Structure 1
């Protein structure tokens, strides 16, 4: 019968280690909850595969051979590793001995709107949880970074793209509002004519150079005069304060970086859009990652 090392499996290695620890075939059978003939048959297979007796009789017990003593530590480590393949590492946020490090991909909107609520939740945990936030310029880069492990997680605009190895969960809906410095506008430019006649600032993240608002206006045969284009939401407030420039931005920024500005509804039809969290499927069952995802979801539910 041809037998090689590939015939070794978890059960045979566990059987070897149990006999080694118990010093008895009978005791090993009892511990494994199998019959003694099953253990004896398994031991015989091990002897043929490894090419060594492994155990010899010593009175009413068995004693390991020199080769069995040599390989036992390696087998123990190997079994621990194999068990780890199917075990989800525990994470208890109430245990100060537990810790987790996460790299989250998020741009300044998500940092301003979602992360404050998230940080309050994380700081209520006793575990040592630390976040690093990096900006992600576009869906393609987000997917690449999730795949190669540059980031563990991402929070961004809900994308219609389908990626089999990237999981997502919807968080909340958002709509656009117009912001302006009330000291420089006697009347809010809240009609389509006044809106198009006003000076505008717009935010363009990444390499994009066309916005959906401009596309809608173009379809109506209209246009707006953009006098300022910036790559982040955070820079808008300081740049338009004290001017007559208006900015069309996500509505929830009114509670953070756009506080103190006048605001009005966008005078054209613009659909609501969603935000979602994304992660790679390799982290789906990880206990710490599952906990973080639940905290992000709860924080987003509290945004109203």
Structure 2
């Protein structure tokens, strides 16, 4: 019968360790819950595969050979690696020897609204958790970056389309508000006429030139005069202060980027829109990633 190293399997390696630890074929059989002939047959197979007796008689028991002593550490490590292949890893944020690295794709709205609480929580953990935040915009870019593994996670507006390999979880709904410098507006732009008469700033992320607000106005036969267009929410806050420019922005920015500005309800019927978190299915069962998703969801529920 031809036997080579490819005949090694988990059962034979476990058999070797059990005999080694018990110092007895009978003891190994009892520990494994099998008959002594089964252990003896397995040991004989091991001897043929490895090319060494592995154990020799010593008094009333058996002793490992020098080769068995040499390989036992590697066999233990190999068995542990084999066990790990069939187990979802464990991540404990309160354990100092645990570590995690995340690349999170998002824009400065989520940086302002969600990430401060997430960062405070991360820094309260004993584990070595590191977060890299990169800008993203649009469904195509987010999906491509997740698929390529260039980001681990994304927080964004609801993506358009269905992607079988991209998982998602809804976080909260948002609505629009109008922001303005109260020193330059005696009355807020809280009616359709006052809103359309004002001069406007708008935020357009990435290469997007499509504005849902302008589409809504056009559908009602109205227009607005946009004198400033920027690619981030922080920029619009820095540039419209001290001017008569107004901006229609997500309402939750009032406590962060737009703190200190006047604000009022957007004077048109604009439906709420949803933010979600996204990840590739290859990370679905990763313990550290599951922890991150749970923390983001917990923070988002406080915003709901």
TM-score range, shorter chain: 0.7 to 0.9
Tell me if the contact between 1:121 and 1:299 (Cα under 8 Å) persists in the aligned partners: no
1:132, distance to aligned residue in structure 2 (A): 2.3
Quote the offset at 1:109 in angstroms. 0.4
Query: 229-238 vs 91-100, which deviates more?
Result: 91-100
Alignment match, 1:18? 18
Matched position secondary structure for 1:302: helix
CA–CA distance in 1 between the matches of 2:283 and 2:33?
35
Q: Within 2, Cα distance between the matches of 1:131 and 1:247?
A: 31
Structure 1 distance, partners of 2:242, 2:201, is 13
Gaps of 5+ in 2: none
The alignment partner of 1:162 has SS state of coil
Distance 2:72 2:176 in 1: 65
- Distance in 2 (CA, whole Å) between partners of 1:64 and 1:111 is 60
Residue 294 of structure 2 is matched in structure 1 by 294
- Counterparts of 1:216 and 1:71, CA distance in 2: 73
Rounded Cα–Cα distance in structure 2 between residues aligned with 1:104 and 1:204: 20
Give the Å deviation of 1:116. 1.7
Of stretches 73-82 and 110-119 in structure 1, the one that deviates more from structure 2 is 73-82
Mind listing any 5+ residue stretches in structure 1 that lack a counterpart? none
Match of 2:188 in 1: 188
The answer as to whether partners of 1:174 and 1:274 remain within 8 angstroms in 2 is yes
Looking at structure 1, the residues matched to 10 and 166 of structure 2 have their Cα atoms a distance apart, in angstroms, of 31
> In the TM superposition, what is the alpha-carbon distance from 1:48 to its structure 2 partner?
4.6
Give the distance between the partners of 1:144 and 1:19, measured in 2 at CA.
52
CA–CA distance in structure 1, aligned partners of residues 149 and 37 of structure 2: 48
**Alignment-derived partner of residue 242 in structure 1:** 242
Alpha-carbon distance in structure 2 between the residues aligned to 1:156 and 1:104: 11
Which segment is superposed worse, 6-15 or 170-179? 6-15
Contact 2:284-2:290 at 8 Å conserved across structures: yes
1:129 paired to 2:129: yes
Alpha-carbon displacement from aligned partner over 1:132-152 (angstroms, at most 9, x marks no partner):
222223333323333333333
Partner of 2:208: 208
Match of 1:101, SS state, is strand
Q: Does the 8 A contact of 1:170 with 1:274 survive in 2? A: yes
Separation in structure 1 between the aligned mates of residue 163 and residue 123 of structure 2, nearest angstrom: 33
Match of 1:177 in 2: 177
Deviation by residue 1:260-299 (Cα, 9 ceiling, x = unmatched): 2222222222221111122233333333332222221121
- Tell me if the contact between 2:179 and 2:262 (Cα under 8 Å) persists in the aligned partners: yes
What do you get for the CA RMSD once the two structures are aligned? 2.5
User: What aligned pairs does 1:263-282 form with structure 2 within 5 A after superposition?
Assistant: 263-282=263-282
Correspondence 1:162 to 2:166:
no
Match of 1:86 in 2: 86
Q: With structure 1 as the length reference, what TM-score do the two structures score?
A: 0.88
Residue 152 (structure 1) aligns with: 152
1:230-264, Cα deviation, whole Å (9 max, x unpaired): 11001111211122211110000011111222222
C-alpha contact (below 8 Å) 2:106/2:137 kept by paired residues: no
Indicate the residue corresponding to 1:143 in structure 2.
Answer: 143
Contact 2:112 2:257 in 1 (8 A): yes
Residues in 2 aligned to 1:160 and 1:36: alpha-carbon distance in whole angstroms: 63
> Would the alpha carbon gap of residues 62 and 162 (structure 1) be closer, same or farther in structure 2, given more than 3 Å must change?
farther
